[in-house]
């Protein structure tokens, strides 16, 4: 017997369709088996599919999990923003909280014509990873690393970041790390490109978790708590970034592209 599941296709950190990062959002009554969730993520073939179910623990409004086409991830920003957009659009309200398995309780709130997403700020420290640097296609000025698999590669100019042509096959062999290449921007305060080939996403369109890392890094470097950001992928995505204590607050709009049903045999 075929089962019908609600399905939303949302462009997050986008003011119109075909920008920002695509996410599928699927509100469920209860969790499906993990292999089924993964199969749906593979079928949707977006950087992430977000699944939410009502949180019966009382800690948050909803539980939230994210799946790439190949694996479950511990933190995804753009699909969290998309989930907040879906739930607040469908159910009303000004804010929604989402309990995750490895990233704590996250929050999405309305802010003007868009939303703000509160993520844990991800600190990095100065480091070296010569094997990764050799695969990026250009040598960064500095390398900053976090042991959870986030790496910031600082370049001098936006042009250098835009011109990168990394060896994706080589980066994939290094594991499921985010290779976050960044520089001061021309039209925005900072610019970035993010490569995650080990996680099934060669170049991400817009990466919220990477900006939780960039918010901590650039706030300290710029000497101020807020700035504007552009991820220079093929689709492109804009965000405002603000550091509040141990939280990175990312702001941006969302656009619903498709609302329909997923048919599960």
| Residues 6+ positions from 261 with CB-CB distance below 8 Å | 4, 5, 6, 7
For 196-230, b/e burial (b = at least 16 CB within 10 A) is bbbbbbebbbbbbbbbbbbbbbbbebeeeebbebb
| Contact yes or no for 139/164 (Cβ under 8 A) | no
Identified catalytic residue from 30, 42, 43, 48: 48
Please provide the size of the chain in residues.
Answer: 265
Q: Among candidates 228, 155, 220, 226, which has minimal Cα distance to 193? A: 155
Per DSSP, the residues of 144-164 read EEETTTEEEEE-S-HHHHHT-
Could you tell me the two tokens for 5?
């599941």
107 in catalytic set: no
Q: Enumerate the active-site residues.
A: 48
């Amino acid at each position: 017997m075929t089962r019908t599941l609600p399905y939303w296709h949302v462009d997050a950190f986008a003011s119109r369709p075909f920008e920002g990062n695509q996410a599928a959002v699927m509100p469920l009554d209860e969790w499906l088996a993990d292999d089924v969730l993964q199969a749906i993520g593979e079928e949707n073939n977006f950087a992430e599919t977000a699944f939410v179910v009502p949180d019966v623990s009382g800690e948050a409004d909803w539980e939230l999990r994210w799946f790439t086409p190949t694996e479950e991830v511990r933190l995804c920003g753009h699909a969290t923003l998309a989930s907040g957009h879906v739930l607040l659009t469908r159910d009303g309200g000004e804010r929604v909280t989402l309990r995750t398995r490895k990233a704590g309780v996250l929050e999405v709130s309305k802010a003007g014509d868009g939303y703000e997403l509160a993520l844990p700020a991800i600190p990095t420290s100065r480091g070296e990873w010569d094997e990764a640097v050799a695969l990026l296609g250009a040598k960064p000025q500095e390398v900053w690393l976090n042991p959870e698999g986030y790496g910031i590669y600082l370049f001098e100019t936006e042009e250098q970041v835009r011109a990168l042509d990394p060896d994706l096959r080589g980066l994939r062999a290094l594991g499921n790390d985010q290779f976050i290449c960044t520089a001061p921007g021309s039209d925005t305060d900072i610019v970035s490109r993010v490569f995650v080939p080990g996680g099934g996403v060669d170049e991400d369109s817009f990466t919220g978790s990477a900006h939780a890392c960039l918010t901590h890094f650039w706030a300290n470097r710029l000497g101020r708590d807020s700035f504007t950001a552009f991820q220079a992928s093929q689709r492109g995505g804009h965000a405002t970034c603000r550091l509040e204590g141990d939280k990175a607050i990312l702001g941006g709009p969302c656009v619903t592209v498709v609302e329909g049903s997923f048919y599960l045999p």
